[in-house]
Amino acid sequence: MTEITTKETRNSEWKKLLLLAFVGLPIVMFGVIVTYGLIVRLLQVFLIGLPGA
């Protein structure tokens, strides 16, 4: 019985890892990149000035 539980736990951990690696992490990275771009753009518009202007 412990072998079944251990195997189920191992499968569950793999599913969680794959979900995090292929769904969670890309969503977080997208959010970080968008936030950085927004901050840079707002700084250009309000403080630094647009490039080439």
Q: What is the 3-state secondary structure (H, E, C) of 14-35?
A: HHHHHHHHHHHHHHHHHHHHHH
Q: pLDDT 10s per residue in the chain (53 long)?
A: 556 678 889 899 999 999 999 999 999 999 999 999 999 999 999 998 888 76
User: How confident is the model at residue 39, as a pLDDT?
Assistant: 97
pTM above 0.75, yes or no: no
Helix, strand counts (H, E) of the chain: 2, 0
Check if the beta carbon of residue 28 is closer than 8 Å to that of residue 35: no
